[in-house]
Amino acid sequence: MSSTLALAAHDSMTMLRRNLKHAARYPALTFSQAMTPILMLLLFVFAFGDSIGASLGSGPGGGRDAYLAYLTPGILVMGVAGGSMSTSVAICSDMTGGIINRFRTMNIVRSSFMTGHVIGSVVQTLVGLVLVVAVALAVGFRPHAGAAAWAAAFGLLLAIAVAVTWLSVALGLISKTVESAGNKPLLVQFLPFLGSAFVPADSMAPGLRLFAEYQPFTPMIETLRGLLSGTPVGSGGWVSLAWCAGIGTVGYVWSRRLFNRTTTRR
Partner 1 sequence: MPPSVMPTSRNRNMLGAPAVTAIGLRKSYGDRTVLDGIDLTIPAGTVFALLGPNGAGKTTTVEILSTLVGADGGQAQIAGHDLLTDPDGVRSAIGVTGQFAALDDLLTAEENLLLMADLLRLPRQQGRARVRELLERFDIAEAAGRRAATFSGGMRRRLDLAMTLVGDPQVIFLDEPTTGLDPRSRRTMWDTVRGLVAGGTTVFLTTQYLEEADQLADRIAVLDGGRIVAEGTADELKARIPGSHVRLRLADPAGFARACAAFPGASRDAENLALRIAGDAGLDALRSVIDRLDAAGVPAADFSVHTPDLDDVFFALTGADTGVGAGTGIGTGTGTGTDTPHGSHRPAAEETPR
Question: 10 Å Cβ neighbour count for 230?
Answer: 11
Minimum distance between the CB of residue 51 and partner 1, rounded to whole angstroms?
45
> Nearest Cα to 21, choosing from 161, 126, 124?
124
Sign (positive/negative) of CA torsion 64, 68, 74, 75? positive
Is position 25 an interface residue for partner 1 (rule: CB under 8 A)? Answer: yes
Stretch 108-137 residues interacting with partner 1 (CB under 8 A): 108
> Nearest Cα to 198, choosing from 28, 44, 19?
44
187 near 167, Cβ under 8 Å? no
Which CB, 57 or 107, lies closer to partner 1?
107
Q: If phi over 0 gives left and psi between -120 and 50 gives alpha, with beta otherwise, what is residue 230?
A: left
Minimum distance between the CB of residue 228 and partner 1, rounded to whole angstroms?
37
Is position 11 an interface residue for partner 1 (rule: CB under 8 A)? Answer: yes
Which CB, 14 or 235, lies closer to partner 1?
14
Is position 261 an interface residue for partner 1 (rule: CB under 8 A)? Answer: no
Which CB, 91 or 201, lies closer to partner 1?
91
**Rounded to the nearest 10 degrees, what angle do helices 2-25 and 27-43 cross at?**
70
Is position 21 an interface residue for partner 1 (rule: CB under 8 A)? Answer: yes
Minimum distance between the CB of residue 25 and partner 1, rounded to whole angstroms?
6
Instruction: Choose which of 3, 105, 138, 147 interacts with partner 1 (CB under 8 A).
Output: 105
